[in-house]
Amino acid sequence: MTAKEYLGQAYRLDQRINSKIEQVASLNDLAHKCTLTLTGMPRNPNRATSRMEDAIEKIVDLQAEINRDIDRLVDLKREMVKVIKAVDNLEYQTLLEKRYLCFKQWEEIAVDMGYGIDNIFKMHKKALDCVSVPA
């Protein structure tokens, strides 16, 4: 695994968490739309559970999955901080932190650090060369 692939893991995991959060919101909307129909007719005892129960069950499962992913993201970021702190150059550390821990865009990093975008790309390449990816 390259340094860039290793450091990019947190962003991808963060995106998956955000996607699951959107799914929970969608399921919550669906659960609120579910209605109960009352009739005097007897029900089939083998009938599947209600849509409301299905939606709630999926919400609970997804929330548990989100919590596991968040725990993994926190652990990964903690490990990445150690890897980035092992880089000797403070400017490289700052660039790597802004990009891979704060998920900032290149343009924003360039403005924050007071460099042109081309210099940021060159510095990024050099910074990646200094990263030691854990085995």
Residue pLDDT, tens place only, 67-81 = 999 999 999 999 999
Q: Which two tokens stand for residue 132?
A: 């030691």
Helix and strand totals (H; E) in the chain: 5, 0
What letter does residue 47 receive in the DSSP assignment? Answer: P
Q: What pLDDT, on a 0 to 100 scale, did the predictor assign at position 44?
A: 60
Cα separation of 69 and 72, whole Å? 5
Domain ranges of the chain: 3-34+49-130
pTM above 0.75, yes or no: yes
Residue pLDDT, tens place only, 8-52 = 999 999 999 999 999 998 888 877 776 555 556 566 655 555 667
